Structure formats: structure tokens, C-alpha cells
Amino acid sequence: MIFDISHTTKYNYENGVSFCQNLATLKPKDFKGHRLLDYHLKISPTPVEQSERIDFFGNTITRFSIQQFHEELIVTAKSRVDRNYDLEIEDINMSSRKLVTVALAKKLLLSIEPDILEARQFSLLSPLISKIGSDIKSYAESSFKPDRPLYDAAFELMQRIYTDFDFVPGFSNIATPLDMVMKEKKGVCQDFAHIAIACMRSIGLPARYVSGYIETIPPPGKEKLVGTDASHAWFSVFIPTLGWFDFDPTNNQIPKNQHITVAHGRDYYDVPPLKGIIYTTGKNDMDVSVDIRPATNSLEIQK
């Protein structure tokens, strides 16, 4: 399935901005079964400086600087991605997921093989998962019994978060403590991903944050509205000898063709779509519009 994705962020500044320095993490990743066909980033006002690099986690980061007075900033990323989940798992013997238990995974993680060392960094605390309480560890231990297949335990954790937590937009923001989300049992997709990652790390297992998009399907007989989609987040679990496996606790499903991956990180702090520094006074308003849908026959994204 080929998807066209449009992601527009608009900032309106009450008293204008004289200078801003920004980082954008908006370019989808390119890997087997998830092929980036085209990408274009449009920024208004036009930056005086703009560059692209690959960060420590393998994500594409665009740095840009605007050094003229402006009252509005508009950043639009347009991507085309060819998604084929069957190709993504083609080289994995899926039946072997049952063979790697929680106890065996912990033993295998003691190895100094390069892929193991790379994965182990995701078992450490991170900026937004800096404190893991006993309630989170207890919650995790209900699923992660030593002799249980790690994949099955992670799958159950995904299901439990979906069942036990309520999706409540506006309840939380980036500064909301994880223990409050755990106590209130509500939040949004980034909160549910953080809870799952904290559960994994509480028992010494690697888990990473995945940012991206998910295709939304309108009700039968209804037309899909432009710009009503949103950025999405889920979590990924490392199973030694097999690799990374994704789980979406917000929707209680394994991410397949409807999920588009933009970036991986320790938590949301590593991969926000936009972050930066501005010189201004007064308030500013932000509006985000995301649209993802099957591509048309056109071979090039309309720029």
C-alpha cells in the first residue's frame, strides 16, 4: 500500500518572533517493508540556514534557522511511503517468537554482540521516563513471568493498557508525570507508549518509543475529512535473536500497513515533530493538521 502523508504545523505569535532556531523530525524512516518514495519539507518564512543529518538513533533531523521578523511559522512535510508489512517480517521466523522467554531474553541480553549492545541502551532511564515507581513494576510483573514467551507477554501488556486506560485528549501534556498517568489510568497515545516502555524497563528489558502516523478509516458511508488525522505513537520491544517488534496499545493492534514510522527514540523527548528556541514576548498558538491516505497515481508529491 502506498500512502501520501501531509503534516502541517502552524504557529501564530502574539508579538512576532525576531529569531528562531528549530529541529524537525518529520521525515519517515526507510527500511524493508517501509520504503520512502518521496519527501519534501516546505518552511515559511524561508530559512536562511537549513541542513539535514542523521541523529544517534538513526532518525533524519532537519535543522533550520529563521532570522527575520515573522508573526507566523508554517512547516509542511509531505511524504510518500510504500508500506508492506509482509516484507518487513519476511526474514523473521515468526514461530520462533514462542521460544524466547522473558528469562531467556534477560540472559541473552548479557551478550556483547553489537545488536544487543545497541538495544540495551533502551533499557535505561530516559528524560521522560526518569522515575519508575513500584506500581509500574508491579503492573509489568503481572504479564512478564520468567517462563513466558516475551512476545506473548508484550502482547498482553498492550491489551491490558488498552483495556485499563482511557483515551482522554487534553488530560496530559509533555510535562505530565508518568506516575499521574498510571494513577489516573488515562491519557493519549504518547502516554500509553511511555507506560508500556516503563513497564519493560522496570524489569530490565529494552523498549523504545516509536513516533509516526496511522491511517484512520471513516465510518461506513462517510467521507474522510482532510487534515483530521494526527501524529501517533506506540512502543517497540527487542527480542534477542529476532529483533524489534511493534505494539500499539492505543488501538490494541500490531502495527502493520496502516502504521507509518517516522522515528525511534528512548521516549517522546528524542523525537518531537518540532522543537526549538524563539526570541519573542507574549503568547503563541499552535495548530496541527495531518492527513494520510492511499496515494493517487501521480508519481511525484505536489510541492
Question: Which tens digit of pLDDT belongs to each residue from 40-79?
Answer: 999 999 999 999 999 999 999 999 999 999 999 999 999 9
What pLDDT, on a 0 to 100 scale, did the predictor assign at position 5?
Answer: 96
What pLDDT, on a 0 to 100 scale, did the predictor assign at position 222?
Answer: 67
Nearest to 57 by CA among 294, 267, 288, 282: 267
Three cell numbers written together for 275: 522543537
* Backbone φ, ψ for residue 195 (5° rounding): -60, -45
What pLDDT, on a 0 to 100 scale, did the predictor assign at position 298?
Answer: 56
Residues of the chain within CATH 3.10.620.30 domain(s) are 93-270
Tell me the C-alpha distance between 158 and 160, whole Å: 6
Residues of the chain within CATH 2.60.40.2250 domain(s) are 2-83+272-294
Tell me the C-alpha distance between 34 and 222, whole Å: 29
Nearest to 28 by CA among 64, 80, 75, 63: 80
Handedness of CA 267, 136, 146, 254 (dihedral sign): negative
Whether cis (ω within 30° of 0) applies to the bond prior to 240 is no
What are the angstrom distances between the C-alpha of 148 and each of 36, 98, 103, 158, 300?
36, 8, 8, 15, 48
Q: What is the pLDDT of residues 200-247, one digit of tens each?
A: 999 999 999 999 999 887 667 666 655 457 789 999 999 999 999 999
Three cell numbers written together for 263: 522515528
Q: Give pLDDT < 70 ranges for the chain.
A: 218-219, 221-228, 297-303
pTM across the whole model: 0.93
Report the length, in residues, of the chain: 303
Number of other residues whose CB lies within 10 A of the CB of residue 249: 24
Amino acid symbol at 278: I
Name the H helices within 185-286: 189-202
Tell me the C-alpha distance between 13 and 37, whole Å: 34
CATH of region 2-83+272-294, choose from 3.30.450.40, 1.10.3720.10, 2.60.40.2250, 3.10.20.30: 2.60.40.2250
CATH domain 93-270 topology: C8orf32 fold (3.10.620)
Cell numbers 517522546 label which residue?
268
